[in-house]
């Protein structure tokens, strides 16, 4: 860890020039005392870093100092910078490692491309915090300690103990055989088996994790894409699912697609509205999702029509003007 931090410190000084100890500490997420120790270590190793005293002082490398990193062309570095801006690194607890890697990517550019790449990145915004309607994008929090234990067990092929809080259940410990990690729409999942049965765990619900020394019972090779597709199919076909027939304004189709499990029929009526047959995970989810569609019509089942009618009547009565 310290070796990576020292490299990051050198790259930071190369790219930003003179920096104060508090600024370096903030960038590397360490204490000022750690920064001072790292500066001493670099000097002892022969890296020409020196301190400038005074109000505008700080630490700086001697002009012309070069690190020995493999060069990339402009488009290659830009592709890595764009890929590295995705939130998967945050979901899997690799945010600080990503920041360090991005410094190395920029530094690896030939000198003539470095400013060009930095300027290009300023023109790209990947996954902003809000969309055009100012709706915040929800990014689930996973502690770095938990993510590190899970990653280590996955890559080393060891069994894993997790303290997991399933929906509507008290948290409890489980011992699993980890298979791989998946991120979907900023949500992270651990694919595993427990007692030979397939299990999928949401990372944000793992309260604590402990890598065990015992080898995991799993295949040496895995096709995560196929495994994820199989588990997605099993999820969609399980539980108390409900099929609903709808007439939907085409402008609301995208909103609907965010909530359904599957679309089993899709036709266009003469007036341009869509006639869809969709599947929801359960009745409660269907009621909530379809209420958001306002005047778009539920054609079947009648039980769901009755539920929505009762809700609408209750709200209309509550907000009726005084007689």
221 pLDDT band (50/70/90 cuts)? Answer: confident
pLDDT in tens, 266-313: 889 898 888 999 888 788 888 888 888 777 778 888 998 898 889 889
When the pLDDT of each residue in the chain is averaged and rounded to a whole number, the result is: 79
69 pLDDT band (50/70/90 cuts)? Answer: very low
Which of the pair, 27 or 93, is modelled with greater confidence?
27
pLDDT in tens, 97-120: 666 666 666 666 656 556 665 665
State the helix-helix crossing angle for 21-28 and 32-44, rounded to 10 degrees.
100
Q: Is the pLDDT of residue 121 over 70?
A: no
Q: Is the pLDDT of residue 71 over 50?
A: no
Prediction pTM value = 0.52
Q: Which of 3-7, 50-54, 245-249 has the highest mean pLDDT?
A: 245-249
pLDDT of residue 106: 65
Q: Is the pLDDT of residue 209 over 80?
A: yes
Name residues whose C-beta falls within 8 Å of residue 4's C-beta, 6 or more positions apart in sequence: 97, 100
Q: Is the pLDDT of residue 205 over 80?
A: yes
14 pLDDT band (50/70/90 cuts)? Answer: confident
- Strand pairing class (187-194; 49-52): unpaired
Name residues whose C-beta falls within 8 Å of residue 292's C-beta, 6 or more positions apart in sequence: 255, 259
The values of phi and psi at residue 216, to 5°, are: -75, 145
pLDDT of residue 50: 81
53 pLDDT band (50/70/90 cuts)? Answer: confident
Q: What angle do CA 212, 217, 223 make, to 5 degrees?
A: 115
Q: What angle do CA 145, 149, 154 make, to 5 degrees?
A: 145
Q: Is the pLDDT of residue 76 over 90?
A: no
The Cα-based distances of 77 to 41, 81, 106, 176 in angstroms read 30, 6, 7, 38
27 pLDDT band (50/70/90 cuts)? Answer: confident
Classify residue 287 as exposed, middle or buried by CB count within 10 Å of its CB (0-12, 13-18, 19+).
middle
Q: Where are the alpha helices (DSSP H) in the chain?
A: 2-16, 21-28, 32-44, 74-84, 88-91, 95-108, 111-122, 144-156, 224-236, 253-257, 283-291, 302-318
DSSP 225-282: HHHHHHHHHHHHTSSS-EEEEEEE-GGGHHHHHTT-SEEEEEEE-TTS-EEEEEEESS
Cα 223 from Cα 204, distance rounded (Å): 24
38 pLDDT band (50/70/90 cuts)? Answer: confident
Partners of 206 in the β-ladder? 164
Q: Is the pLDDT of residue 249 over 70?
A: yes
pLDDT of residue 162: 96
Name residues whose C-beta falls within 8 Å of residue 256's C-beta, 6 or more positions apart in sequence: 246, 248, 276, 278, 289, 293
Name residues whose C-beta falls within 8 Å of residue 104's C-beta, 6 or more positions apart in sequence: 7, 8, 11, 69
Classify residue 197 as exposed, middle or buried by CB count within 10 Å of its CB (0-12, 13-18, 19+).
exposed
pLDDT of residue 58: 87
70 pLDDT band (50/70/90 cuts)? Answer: very low
pLDDT in tens, 127-174: 666 766 666 666 677 888 898 899 899 988 999 999 999 877 899 999
Q: What angle do CA 212, 199, 137 make, to 5 degrees?
A: 100
Q: Which of 24-38, 229-243, 287-301 has the highest mean pLDDT?
A: 24-38
Cα 164 from Cα 192, distance rounded (Å): 13
Q: Is the pLDDT of residue 66 over 70?
A: no
Cα 290 from Cα 282, distance rounded (Å): 12
């Amino acid at each position: 860890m310290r070796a990576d931090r020292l490299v990051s410190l050198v790259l930071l000084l190369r790219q930003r020039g003179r920096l104060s100890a508090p600024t370096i500490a903030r960038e590397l997420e360490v204490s000022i005392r750690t920064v001072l120790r790292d500066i001493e270590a670099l000097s002892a190793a022969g890296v020409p870093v020196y301190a400038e005293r005074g109000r505008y002082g700080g630490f700086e490398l001697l002009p012309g100092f070069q690190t020995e990193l493999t060069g990339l062309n402009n488009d290659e570095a830009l592709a890595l910078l764009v890929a590295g801006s995705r939130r998967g690194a945050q979901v899997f607890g690799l945010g600080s490692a990503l920041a360090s890697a991005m410094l190395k990517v920029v530094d690896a550019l030939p000198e003539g491309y470095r400013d060009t790449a930095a300027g290009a990145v300023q023109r790209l915004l990947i996954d902003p915090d809000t969309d055009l309607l100012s709706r915040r994008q929800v990014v689930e929090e996973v502690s770095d300690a938990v993510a590190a234990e899970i990653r280590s067990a996955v890559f080393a092929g060891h069994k894993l103990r997790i303290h997991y809080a399933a929906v509507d259940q008290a948290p409890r410990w489980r011992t699993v055989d980890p298979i791989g990690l998946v991120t979907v729409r900023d949500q992270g999942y651990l694919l595993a088996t427990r007692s030979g049965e397939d299990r999928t765990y949401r990372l944000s619900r793992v309260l604590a994790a402990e890598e065990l020394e015992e080898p995991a019972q799993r295949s040496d090779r895995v096709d995560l894409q196929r495994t994820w597709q199989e588990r997605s199919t099993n999820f969609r076909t399980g539980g108390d699912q409900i099929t609903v027939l709808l007439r939907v304004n085409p402008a609301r189709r995208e909103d609907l697609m965010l909530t359904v499990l599957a679309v089993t029929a899709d036709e266009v009526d003469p007036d341009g509205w869509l006639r869809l047959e969709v599947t929801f995970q359960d009745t409660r989810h269907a009621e909530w999702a379809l209420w958001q569609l306002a005047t778009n019509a539920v054609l079947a089942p009648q039980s769901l029509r009755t539920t929505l009618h009762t809700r609408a009547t209750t709200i209309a009565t509550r907000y009726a003007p005084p007689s």
